[in-house]
Structure 1
């Protein structure tokens, strides 16, 4: 790897860490960068995943104020994310890429729609629960756990726009602010990426130079993204999420 390529990977990692902390989909920056350098797709995906783990942890740390009181919820949903990550990582190593490539744009588009409609859907869910004399589960209904599990499967396999999907699920299923949901998303993504990284390290090759450069960059970006993202108005944050989602769909369509 040339010095210029090393700088490019470091900068891509920084940008990815920033975007992952605010929204998710940072993989859409680092993964194409590695492919452009001639890395095989699976090796690029694996090395990228390992490198982004420290950035995800940094992003979660940056949102620690919004995590106050969410520990029981994150333990419950974290189990789903971890289980899903194991399945997704195994799928990456065993299944052809075409299997997931076909559904990725659909999932991202669905996530964007849910993010836009989240306030209205969330109010409707709360109104229905009240009409039935029920209280919305504090940590989300069973379907929230199941959908977080599925997001974990997708995240363990590839991870691009995992944050968009998680924000959509948490926004509809949990009765709390978008910023608190984003903080929870960062923790779940950290668990997901971390478990997938352990699987990859144990059973397949990792380009440690690439992973190390992305790790340094994504850590810087994760802290920076948390500083910026937690100050965004909910409407602006939704706009950023949808914009990233649309860009992700476009990249997959062109690819």
Structure 2
């Protein structure tokens, strides 16, 4: 990795942290930047997951006071762990050549989730106003599926978890988001452990991205808050869609 690639990767890391803090979906930027630096797609996916993990932890620390009672957390935590492990293992056993073929569809799927965030948010807000009975089995199943998505794809799975929790549980939105942050961190932690032990991590790239994402999350986000979150999200969705289509076109050649 030459100095120019390293500088561009650091800039992408700052953007990743800032976008994740303001609009979400920044991991698509880190993943794309790693591939642009010449890192193979599967290694880039594993490396980007490791690099953005500190941001997940910071979200939990910042919102721990809003977490629901411990009993509610313990009810869904095993499902998140199981789903995260399943998705991560599935990714690790996927052959590199197979992942190269499917990665454009994963990028496009993540972009679609981000693009639908406003509609999902509207569903969440409407559901939060309704008094519903909790359905533990349904909740645990959906959280586990969200964990599989998070372990395998990653980008946008926080949106998936928020929608899942709000549709099945009756909790204030602040608690829902705080629980989402905790589950996201748990799923990311299982993925990071498995990726580090069994996967191929580009530690040079991770070493550049980690401080950059932290900087972007704590400093860059303050500057980007002056811009509409909707505009920022559209930028990421447009970028992800174009990037996914380019990868798809390359696979077809």
Same fold (TM over 0.5): yes
Report deviation, 1:100.
Answer: 7.5
- Where in structure 2 are the equivalents of 1:93-104 lying within 5 Å? 93-95=92-94, 96-97=98-99, 98=101, 102=105
**Does the 8 Å CA contact 2:80/2:147 hold for their aligned counterparts?**
yes
Q: 2:109 aligns with which of 100, 105, 109?
A: 105
Aligned residues: 238
Cα distance in 2 for partners of 1:145, 1:22 equals 28
Cα gap change, 1:52 to 1:152, in 2 (>3 Å): same
Deviation at 1:207, TM superposition (A): 1.0
- The verdict on how the C-alpha distance between 1:152 and 1:92 changes in structure 2, with shifts beyond 3 A counting, is same
Distance in structure 2 (CA, Å) of the matches to 1:199 and 1:162: 18
Q: Which moved more, 1:195-204 or 1:243-252?
A: 243-252
Unaligned stretches of 5+ in structure 2? 248-253
1:115 — aligned with what? Answer: 121
TM-score relative to the length of structure 2: 0.77
C-alpha change, 1:51 and 1:151, in structure 2 (3 Å) is same
Find the counterpart in structure 1 of residue 27 from structure 2: 27
Q: Is the 8 A contact 1:23 1:164 kept in 2?
A: no
Q: Distance in 2 between matches of 1:62 and 1:177?
A: 17
Correspondence list, 1:151-162, <5 A:
151-162=146-157
Question: Structure 1 residues 243, 105: CA separation in 2 closer, same or farther (over 3 Å shift)?
Answer: same
Q: Distance in 2 between matches of 1:242 and 1:168?
A: 17
Query: Given the alignment, which residue of 237, 241, 247 partners 1:250?
Result: 241
CA distance in 2, matches of 1:59, 1:120: 24
- Do residues 89 (structure 1) and 88 (structure 2) align? yes
Match of 1:219 among 198, 203, 214: 214
Shift of 1:112: 5.1
User: Is the 2:18–2:216 contact (alpha carbons within 8 Å) kept by the matching residues of 1?
Assistant: yes
Could you tell me whether the CA contact under 8 Å between 1:25 and 1:159 is conserved in 2? Answer: no
Is the 8 Å Cα contact of residues 21 and 186 (structure 1) preserved in structure 2?
Answer: no
1:141 aligns with 2:145: no
Distance 2:15 2:103 in 1: 25
2-structure distance, mates of 1:227, 1:65: 22
CA RMSD of aligned residues (A): 3.3
